[in-house]
Amino acid sequence: MLDLRGISTGYGKAQVLFDVSFTVNPGEVVCLVGRNGAGKTTMMRAIMALLPLWQGEVEIGGKPVSSLPAHCIAAEGLGYIPQGRRLFTELTVQQNLDIGLMVSGGGEDMLARIFALFPRLEERRLQRAETLSGGEQQMLATARALCTNPSTLLLDEPSEGLQPSMIALVREVITRMRAENMGVLLVEQRVDTILSIADRVVFLENGRIAETADIATLRAKPERLNGYLGV
Amino acid sequence: MDLGPYLLLASLEGAITASILALTAVGLSLVFGVMRVVNVAHGEFFMLGAVASWFVATYLGTHPAIGFIAALLIAPLLVGALAATADWLVLRRINYDPERTIVATIGLLYILQQGTLMTFGPDARPVEPPFNQRLAIPWPSFEGGFHLTWPWGLGTTSYKLFIIAAAITILFGLWVLMSRTKIGLIMRATQLDRDMAQAFGIPVERVYALVFGLGAGLAALAAVLIVPVQQAHYLMGGDPLLLSFIVVIIGGLGSLPGTVIAAVLIGLSDGIISVFFSPTLAKILATLLVALVLVFRPQGLLGKRIA
């Protein structure tokens, strides 16, 4: 379980997040929704300790991790798929996955599971990441995060710039991870994706939680989403 | 002696310069590539390697070969450990900020240089080569049918050939380390994206200390190899630093293959121009080449253009 309590942070003297608290339970998909600049990516970076917290606490499975250095967070069970994928572009597919496997200590068994999920990556194993298509790069970013064997997966706009078939694949993977009892925190702008896979939606506005809604309520009144999306 | 044998002799001298330069510059390039730190103190790590080599060879006091082998092992380790400590004490504390690290490494340069002057003294001190047989080089002649001649003055020493072979071996070892090992993969991932490396469990600050130590160790290794030819002196770090910067800029900042290619180009041209004209002209032309590269191909031979 990922538990965020009273998170405040920012860049330099500019505060971006103000006292943000919510929880991602195992087997639950929580969508973080907000306009550009609302603080969604900052939230993800703060959880991964890539941005120091000004206030608040992050707990993973009941263990406080805010005082840990950034390189220790992945080993606590957080897998991160950043916005824009940020692959190690000059490394091969295999080497990108090896970096993920270093966290979990996983071997051929885990790699076989990953390749079963993304067969195309196995075909491209020795290809440099920068030569993959956008969809394949998203597969690799997801696979690299799954190689760390996370209990909670953080995805920052995974469907951005992808063709519909790839978006469907991303949704399928998230659904499958939820079925395996993994918690998922998803930053997403697509209404159809949010409505089809989220269990709960946290609306972020100007760095504060504006409201939280369960998906049944939103499916009944999807227009509520529109106020929090877009530029 | 005709032009041909002279050219061969000059190329041999150039190959020795290129070998030492490649090792030194690769260290500088590695540090810049992975850490984005412009290490102005790099030449002083070269100097420390030469001085440490003199200390080891002198205080061991046995056969020159034993002293040399001991220096080859001890000096790079000592200098590498010193550099890693400097990284821990200074660079890490200023968060590897590009501007502040330049100032910090200038400070480090003076501390190391003046510290060496106070302990080692101002004199240049020789280190005996482990072996130094004179080797005459044959030259083909076609007058009255093909036969080999032995022009007077066309020769080298076994130690100079050893320098070239050792540099090639060390560079090959570095290539294996970077491209075939887990630690090499970690260094390359850190170079490509520091934040993502951390998000995937890589202790970036430890990697930086290792890289800074490795870069300095390579400079020290180059110095141990050249000190039987050049002598150790507390001001000897200036030229390797300047030439290393020239090589790294021409090769492409952070590109190890580019650095090696540029070192061979600059080393060979330095050797040839020094023999036929003057060492000063060689340095002038190398600096001019840097200016041309900066104007027409700012990313260097194999560097990547930054968008």
**Ranges of each domain in chain A:** 2-229
Reading the block at residue B283, the tokens are: 């340095």
Q: What is the mean pLDDT of residues A133-156?
A: 95
Asked if the C-beta of A101 comes within 8 angstroms of chain B's C-beta atoms, the answer is no
Asked if the C-beta of A112 comes within 8 angstroms of chain B's C-beta atoms, the answer is no
Asked if the C-beta of A73 comes within 8 angstroms of chain B's C-beta atoms, the answer is yes
Neighbours of B254 (CB within 10 A): 21
Report pLDDT for A161. Answer: 85
Which of B193, B195, B201 is facing A103, going by the closest CB pair?
B201
**Burial tier of A94 (Cβ tally within 10 Å: 0-12, 13-18, 19+):** middle
Which of B182, B189, B204 is facing A88, going by the closest CB pair?
B189
More confident call, A125 vs B253: A125
Q: What is the mean pLDDT of residues A198-211?
A: 94
Greatest alpha-carbon span in chain A? 47
CA A4/CA A212 separation, integer angstroms: 14
Single-letter amino acid, residue A84: G
In A180-213, which residue ranges form alpha helices assigned H by DSSP?
191-197
Contacts of A50 in chain B (CB under 8 A): 195, 198-199
**Burial tier of A187 (Cβ tally within 10 Å: 0-12, 13-18, 19+):** buried
Give a three-class secondary structure readout of B171-210: HHHHHHHHHHCHHHHHHHHHHHCHHHHHHCCCCHHHHHHH
Is B11 inside a domain boundary?
yes
pLDDT in tens, A56-113: 999 999 999 999 999 999 999 999 999 999 999 999 999 999 999 999 998 899 999 9
Is B86 inside a domain boundary?
yes
CB contact under 8 A, A99 and B202: yes
Would you say residue A160 has pLDDT above 70? yes
Give a three-class secondary structure readout of chain A: CEEEEEEEEEECCEEEEEEEEEEECCCCEEEEECCCCCCHHHHHHHHCCCCCCCEEEEEECCEECCCCCHHHHHHHCEEEECCCCCCCCCCEHHHHHHHHHHHHCCCHHHHHHHHHHCHHHHHCCCCEHHHCCHHHHHHHHHHHHHCCCCCEEEEECCCCCCCHHHHHHHHHHHHHHHHCCCEEEEECCCHHHHHHHCCEEEEEECCEEEEEEEHHHHHHCCHHHHCCCCC
| Confidence band of A228 (pLDDT split at 50, 70, 90) | confident
* Alpha carbon B223 to its chain's center: 8
Domain assignment of residue B115, given as a range: 3-129+154-237
Asked if the C-beta of A98 comes within 8 angstroms of chain B's C-beta atoms, the answer is yes
Give the list of residues 6+ apart from residue B32 with CB closer than 8 angstroms, or none. B38, B39, B248, B253, B254
Is B161 inside a domain boundary?
yes
User: Which residue from A minimizes the CA distance to B189?
Assistant: A88
Give the list of residues 6+ apart from residue B105 with CB closer than 8 angstroms, or none. B37, B38, B39, B40, B41, B42, B91
Would you say residue A230 has pLDDT above 80? no
Closest Cα partner for B127 from B223, B59, B227, B56?
A: B227
Q: What are phi and psi of B38, to 5 degrees?
A: -90, 105
CA B302/CA A36 separation, integer angstroms: 38
Reading the block at residue A117, the tokens are: 């999920």
pTM here? 0.92
Q: What angle do CA B237, B241, B246 make, to 5 degrees?
A: 155
Task: With beta carbons less than 8 A apart as the criterion, state whether B289 and B30 touch.
Answer: no
CA A51/CA A61 separation, integer angstroms: 21
The residue ranges of chain B whose pLDDT is under 50 are: none
The domain total for chain B is: 1
Residues A2-229, CATH architecture? 3-Layer(aba) Sandwich (3.40)
The number of residues making up chain B comes to 307
Neighbours of A136 (CB within 10 A): 19
Is B203 inside a domain boundary?
yes
Report pLDDT for B239. Answer: 92
Taking each helix axis as running N to C, give the angle between helix B158-180 and helix B3-35, from 0 to 180 degrees, rounded to the nearest 10: 30
Reading the block at residue A227, the tokens are: 């106020």
pLDDT in tens, A8-47: 999 999 999 999 999 999 999 999 999 988 999 999 999 9
DSSP element (H, E) containing B5: helix B3-35
Report pLDDT for B153. Answer: 77
CA B102/CA B123 separation, integer angstroms: 29
Task: With beta carbons less than 8 A apart as the criterion, state whether B218 and B24 touch.
Answer: yes
Report pLDDT for B144. Answer: 81
CA B83/CA B209 separation, integer angstroms: 8
pLDDT in tens, A100-123: 999 999 889 999 999 999 999 999
Report pLDDT for B149. Answer: 82
Is B275 inside a domain boundary?
no
Residues of B with CB under 8 A from a CB of A: 182, 185-186, 188-189, 192-193, 195-204
CB contact under 8 A, B202 and A102: yes
Residue found under tokens 């102005």? B40
CA B148/CA B136 separation, integer angstroms: 12
Is B278 inside a domain boundary?
no
Single-letter amino acid, residue B76: P
Report pLDDT for A123. Answer: 96
Give the list of residues 6+ apart from residue A102 with CB closer than 8 angstroms, or none. B182, B186, B200, B201, B202
More confident call, A225 vs A46: A46
In B201-278, which residue ranges form alpha helices assigned H by DSSP?
204-230, 238-251, 256-276
Contacts of B180 in chain A (CB under 8 A): none
CB contact under 8 A, B199 and A88: no
